[in-house]
């Protein structure tokens, strides 16, 4: 419903409100409409974010982190004969620090692309170390 200045002037002429209340009431109604439109746009934007692309990027980040943890486990147990308690402790610490870094990026308000790139970077560090050890 759109309320115009003429409608408020007609209401003031009938004695329903005072003439000096027209401008503040009109400003309030315009601000309320702008706020409602802004909230509707934000809700529409949030609905778009929760689509298939968001699930695919989350899955890619999870797979990259799992691959990084598996390579970290291979890296720590390489030549040891099997995973030890220290290797599992290192893997859990690595996984915790990776998710801590991603949570920090999320709290600071960085976008999904930055978080996905940082997850891929964290996941490739053990791969790079393992490749350097194999090359040496």
82, pLDDT greater than 70: no
pLDDT of the residue at 59: 79
Stretch 11-33: mean pLDDT, rounded? Answer: 86
Answer yes or no: do 32 and 67 share one domain.
no
Q: Which residues, 6+ apart, have CB-to-CB distance to 10 below 8 Å?
A: none
Question: Same domain, yes or no, for 74 and 120?
Answer: yes
Distance in angstroms (rounded) separating the CA atoms of residues 56 and 71: 22
Looking at residue 50, what is its pLDDT? 58
Residue 34 has pLDDT above 70, yes or no: yes
Which of 4-18, 29-43, 118-132 is modeled with the greatest confidence?
29-43
Average pLDDT over residues 78-96: 70
Same domain, 41 and 103: no
Quote the crossing angle between the two packed helices 22-49 and 5-13, to the nearest 10°: 140
Residues 35 and 80 in one domain: no
67 with 127, same domain? Answer: yes
Query: What's the pLDDT at 51?
Result: 66
Euclidean distance between CA atoms 68 and 127, whole angstroms: 7
The dihedral built from the CA positions of residue 119, 123, 129 and 134, taken in this order, carries a sign that is: negative
In the prediction, which pLDDT does 49 show?
Answer: 58
Query: DSSP per residue over 100-128, as a string?
Result: HHHHHHHHTT--HHHHHHHHHHHHHHHHH
Between CA 136 and CA 134 the distance in angstroms is 6
Per-residue confidence band for 35, with pLDDT thresholds at 50, 70 and 90: very high
Could you tell me if 66 and 109 lie in one domain?
yes
Q: How far apart are CA 60 and CA 41, in angstroms?
A: 28
Closest CA to 22 of 35, 4, 44, 2: 4
Percent of the chain with pLDDT over 70: 77
- Quick one: tokens of 39? 């909230």
Average pLDDT, the chain: 76
- Least confident interval from 13-22, 102-111, 127-136: 127-136
Least confident residue range of 1-5, 6-10, 15-19, 75-79: 75-79
Print the domain residue range for 12.
5-46
């Amino acid at each position: 419903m759109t309320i115009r200045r003429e409608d408020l002037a007609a209401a003031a002429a009938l004695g329903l409100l005072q003439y000096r209340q027209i401008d503040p009431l009109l400003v309030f109604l315009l601000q309320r409409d702008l706020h409602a439109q802004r909230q509707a746009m934000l809700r529409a934007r949030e609905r778009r974010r929760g689509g298939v692309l968001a699930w695919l990027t989350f899955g890619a980040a999870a797979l990259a982190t799992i691959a990084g943890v598996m390579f970290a486990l291979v890296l720590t147990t390489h030549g040891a004969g099997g995973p030890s308690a220290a290797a599992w402790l290192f893997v859990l610490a690595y996984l915790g620090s990776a998710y801590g870094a991603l949570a920090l990026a999320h709290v600071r308000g960085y976008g999904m692309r930055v978080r996905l790139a940082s997850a891929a970077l964290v996941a490739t560090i053990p791969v790079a170390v393992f490749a350097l050890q194999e090359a040496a």
